[in-house]
Amino acid sequence: VPLQAYGGGLVQAGGSLRLSCAASGRIYSSKVVAWFRQGPGKEREFVAAIRWGSGMRYYEESVRGRFTISKDGPKNTVYLQMSSLKPDDTAVYYCAAGNEYGTTPNPYKDWGQGTQVTVSS
């Protein structure tokens, strides 16, 4: 399913942003939708994921308690609410969908184009 991520921007440390990932078609209950990020000179890393059917959520340890992943079923949209942002959170954020949960990019076959998040100190 084609995905489009948006909502990135420039924010000061300690601030908040909400990213959105909109699917152009229906997201089936078996799907897992995840957020990954890739900082300058770094590999793409897992941030958070949500099972579309059950709503079960998963988080990378460094964002737990600061980021919240959620979904809007009728809108086929997944959100990533980011709070208490740090300069280390600076990255291009990607949303992805797949049939299995995982913390590596491999299980996810559909990817959005990415949205830049820059946190200034």
| Residue carrying structure tokens 């078996």 | 30
DSSP bridge partners of 57: 50
Q: Are 6 and 114 in contact (CB under 8 A)?
A: no
User: Burial of 6 by CB count in 10 Å (0-12 exposed, 13-18 middle, 19+ buried)?
Assistant: middle
CA dihedral 105, 80, 120, 111 (to 10 degrees): 30
Token pair recorded at residue 29: 């209950």
How far apart CA 31 and CA 16 sit, in angstroms, is: 27
**pLDDT value for 121:** 93
Cα-flanking dihedrals φ and ψ of residue 97, to 5°?
A: -130, 145
For 50-95, how does the pLDDT look when each residue is reduced to its tens digit (9 = 90+)? 999 999 999 999 999 999 999 999 999 999 999 999 999 999 999 9
Q: Give the pLDDT band of residue 1 (cuts 50, 70, 90).
A: confident
Residue 104 identity (one-letter amino acid): T
